[in-house]
Chain A
Amino acid sequence: MFSLQREPLEPMTMARPDAGGYVSFVGRVRNHHVGKAVDGLDYEAFDAMALAEGDKVVREAIERFGVLEARCIHRIGSLNVGDVAIAIEVAAGHRREAFRACEFIIDEVKRRVPIWKRERYADGVEEWVHAWSAAPEALTEEAYYQAQTRLPEVGLEGQDRLRRARVLVIGAGGLGCPAITYLASCGVGTILVADHDVLEGDNLHRQPLFRVADIGRMKADLAAEAVAALNPYVRAESHTVRFDASNAERLIAGCDLVLDCSDNLATKDAANAACVALGVPLVVAGIHRMEGWVLSVDPKSEGGCLRCLWPTASQETRSCAEVGVLGFVPGVLGVFMATEAIKRLTGWGDTLGDRLWLVDLLRMEAQSVQRAKEPGCPVCSSPASLAASEPIALKWGDPALAVGDWALLDLRNDAQFEFPLDWPRLSENELSQGGSGRRVLVLCDRGISSVDVVLKARRRGIHAWSLEHGDIGLRRALGR
């Protein structure tokens, strides 16, 4: 549905008996850019990701606008002024959907598909241009964040840490809307939004990320669109699913942090269990009328998890709509969640740590309570306690990796590149026979199956660690 092509592009011509409306769009290389004369340009794509993301855009267009067929081809390589850079064609029952789908495809491809262009200016200078940014030309990424990067504790380095972060937000409701807004505006690079509900009219008073005209649409889609409109330098993914144990791993894998902004304890329990199992920190909050609480579950700390605090889910899980809530209450808590998340991602100042933070907006009072791990907690006491206090996973770049003799167990299914160090390689068989007396780093695709391997190995006394987020984490750390 989406393809890349090195050869010159010809406009396409679809024809099918069931389609009455066809819209095609052709983008050609123009002879100027920001007032400078352009001779031509080169397009370069991050192929695998471009094809996957491009395909997703076309599929979304077909689904969202109910068109019959859509195709998009993007040129790569060297182009001259006047050459076709992109061609889109949509076939639909009627013209209106065809126009909308076509416009959606060109906008989303420019925004989301990783294709860079290098412009060759008439004066001989060449310059790479961020081709998929929808920002006005004057609003560069530097300009967008300048009031924030001016702070010495943030700087360009802190901003870069945020850009590289990947965060899952569960629930795009009263807590999710403000949390998503500030994660996006402050520059968290990739934001996944999981929500299975459509927007209803009585949501708007506490979910001001949305508009009256949005009623009836999926909130995850709306949130992703709102993020795109707010900050062209971050990316939001819409996942229109109810978060539960069946999709937890898929959604959390590769994330640096999860925010649970759901409105029910069952989802919070599922998020808690999955985050503890995968070793990903979780920020979670709840509200009741004019009160609220926030806490962070850090699998590496001694503060325990949500289940340590509340061992049995309460029957008292009526939603905000039933109990009644003032719009700004989840707003305050959601912004607080974003604050905690951003500070955890960047290391600025102090976080909540292992405290439970309680706020009463009726009396304008806040207090915090120190939490601790419950020895018998079914979620966080085992199997992690089998490995004593030693972390299961290490991040790429952890100083521990530079100490002692290491061997690598590579479990990746489709490794795109060689592991960058010349450590001896172990097979799974060699590991089960006790390894080689070396420390063992287990590398898998996402850092999930490696955890099981590490836990099993440690039970046999082998000193093994998982590489956090596996191949995804490694590629990200190495900038590939």
Chain B
Amino acid sequence: MANTVHLQYFAILREQRGADRETLTTQAATLRDLYETLAREHGFTLTTAQVRPAVNETVADWDRAIADGDRIVFLPPVAGG
């Protein structure tokens, strides 16, 4: 089953993806599947243990199922100050 989702990347993920947002159609069932697919494709260095996803303006678990139209944000921890 394919869902169309809207992705947004922050900080180091934005740099590694080379874009700050994209809309794509995915077969991934969960956020974890989606992130791992993207990580392989774009060479993300951070693992799911380090990044936190949020869906539709709410922090989510990696095992959350993906629904059509989800607005997904990947949030890497950033410390600088």
- Using a Cβ cutoff of 8 Å, how many contacts connect chains A and B? 96
CB-CB < 8 A to B34: which residues of A?
none
Min Cβ gap A24→B in Å is 45
> Is there contact, CB below 8 Å, between A316 and B78?
yes
A268 contacts chain B at the CB level, 8 A cutoff:
yes
> Is there contact, CB below 8 Å, between B57 and A367?
yes
B32 contacts chain A at the CB level, 8 A cutoff:
no
Q: Return the contact of A287 from the options B46, B49, B57, B80 (Cβ within 8 A).
A: B80
B75 contacts chain A at the CB level, 8 A cutoff:
yes
> Is there contact, CB below 8 Å, between B57 and A291?
no
> Is there contact, CB below 8 Å, between A323 and B80?
yes
CB-CB < 8 A to A319: which residues of B?
80
CB-CB < 8 A to B76: which residues of A?
314, 316
Once A311-B49, A360-B20 are accepted as A-B contacts, the answer to whether A289 and B79 lie under 8 Å apart by CB is no
Number of residues in B with C-beta < 8 Å to the partner? Answer: 22
Judged by DSSP, the binding face of B is loop
Q: Return the contact of A310 from the options B12, B50, B54 (Cβ within 8 A).
A: B50
Q: How far is the CA of A318 from the CA of B15 in the complex (A)?
A: 15
Q: Return the contact of A356 from the options B11, B75, B79 (Cβ within 8 A).
A: B75
> Is there contact, CB below 8 Å, between A286 and B49?
no
Give me 6 A-to-B residue pairs in the complex whose CB atoms sit less than 8 angstroms apart, sorted by A's number: A287-B81, A288-B12, A288-B78, A289-B11, A310-B50, A319-B80
Once A310-B50, A310-B52, A369-B54 are accepted as A-B contacts, the answer to whether A261 and B59 lie under 8 Å apart by CB is no
CB-CB < 8 A to B46: which residues of A?
314, 316
A370 contacts chain B at the CB level, 8 A cutoff:
yes
CB-CB < 8 A to A285: which residues of B?
81
B-facing residues in A239-264 (Cβ within 8 Å): 261-264
B-facing residues in A296-349 (Cβ within 8 Å): 309-320, 323, 325, 330, 333
> Is there contact, CB below 8 Å, between A171 and B77?
no
> Is there contact, CB below 8 Å, between B75 and A369?
yes
Min Cβ gap A177→B in Å is 10
B73 contacts chain A at the CB level, 8 A cutoff:
yes
A-facing residues in B3-55 (Cβ within 8 Å): 10-12, 14, 20, 45-46, 49-50, 52, 54
Q: Return the contact of B81 from the options A263, A309, A367 (Cβ within 8 A).
A: A263
Number of residues in A with C-beta < 8 Å to the partner? Answer: 45
A174 contacts chain B at the CB level, 8 A cutoff:
yes
Min Cβ gap B14→A in Å is 8
CB-CB < 8 A to B49: which residues of A?
311-312
CB-CB < 8 A to B75: which residues of A?
293, 309, 356, 358, 369
A277 contacts chain B at the CB level, 8 A cutoff:
no
CB-CB < 8 A to B57: which residues of A?
367-370
CB-CB < 8 A to B50: which residues of A?
310, 312-316
A232 contacts chain B at the CB level, 8 A cutoff:
no
Once A291-B10, A310-B52, A363-B20 are accepted as A-B contacts, the answer to whether A286 and B79 lie under 8 Å apart by CB is yes
CB-CB < 8 A to A333: which residues of B?
81
Min Cβ gap B25→A in Å is 23
CB-CB < 8 A to B73: which residues of A?
358, 369
Q: Return the contact of A171 from the options B11, B45, B81 (Cβ within 8 A).
A: B81
Q: How far is the CA of A315 from the CA of B79 in the complex (A)?
A: 10
CB-CB < 8 A to B11: which residues of A?
288-289, 291, 316
CB-CB < 8 A to B78: which residues of A?
286-288, 291-293, 316
Min Cβ gap A201→B in Å is 19
> Is there contact, CB below 8 Å, between A309 and B52?
yes
6 smallest CB-CB distances across A and B, nearest first, come from: A288-B11, A175-B81, A263-B81, A288-B78, A310-B77, A286-B78
CB-CB < 8 A to A309: which residues of B?
52, 59, 75
Min Cβ gap B64→A in Å is 12
Told that A315-B50, A320-B80 touch, could you supply 10 new A-B pairs with CB distance under 8 A? A293-B75, A309-B52, A313-B50, A315-B45, A316-B45, A316-B46, A316-B76, A316-B78, A363-B20, A368-B57
Once A173-B81, A288-B78, A360-B20 are accepted as A-B contacts, the answer to whether A372 and B59 lie under 8 Å apart by CB is yes
> Is there contact, CB below 8 Å, between A371 and B59?
yes
Once A316-B12, A316-B46 are accepted as A-B contacts, the answer to whether A286 and B80 lie under 8 Å apart by CB is yes
> Is there contact, CB below 8 Å, between A370 and B81?
no
Most A C-beta atoms less than 10 A away, residue of B46, B52, B57, B77: B77
A176 contacts chain B at the CB level, 8 A cutoff:
yes
Q: How far is the CA of A422 from the CA of B22 in the complex (A)?
A: 66
Q: How far is the CA of A261 from the CA of B79 in the complex (A)?
A: 9
Min Cβ gap A458→B in Å is 29
A265 contacts chain B at the CB level, 8 A cutoff:
yes
Min Cβ gap B13→A in Å is 10
> Is there contact, CB below 8 Å, between B79 and A369?
no
B-facing residues in A348-374 (Cβ within 8 Å): 356, 358, 360, 363, 367-372
Min Cβ gap A363→B in Å is 7
Min Cβ gap A290→B in Å is 10
Q: Which residue of B lies closest to A303 (CB)?
A: B59
Q: How far is the CA of A50 from the CA of B24 in the complex (A)?
A: 67
CB-CB < 8 A to B59: which residues of A?
309, 356, 369-372
Q: How far is the CA of A289 from the CA of B78 in the complex (A)?
A: 10
Q: Which residue of A lies closest to B80 (CB)?
A: A320
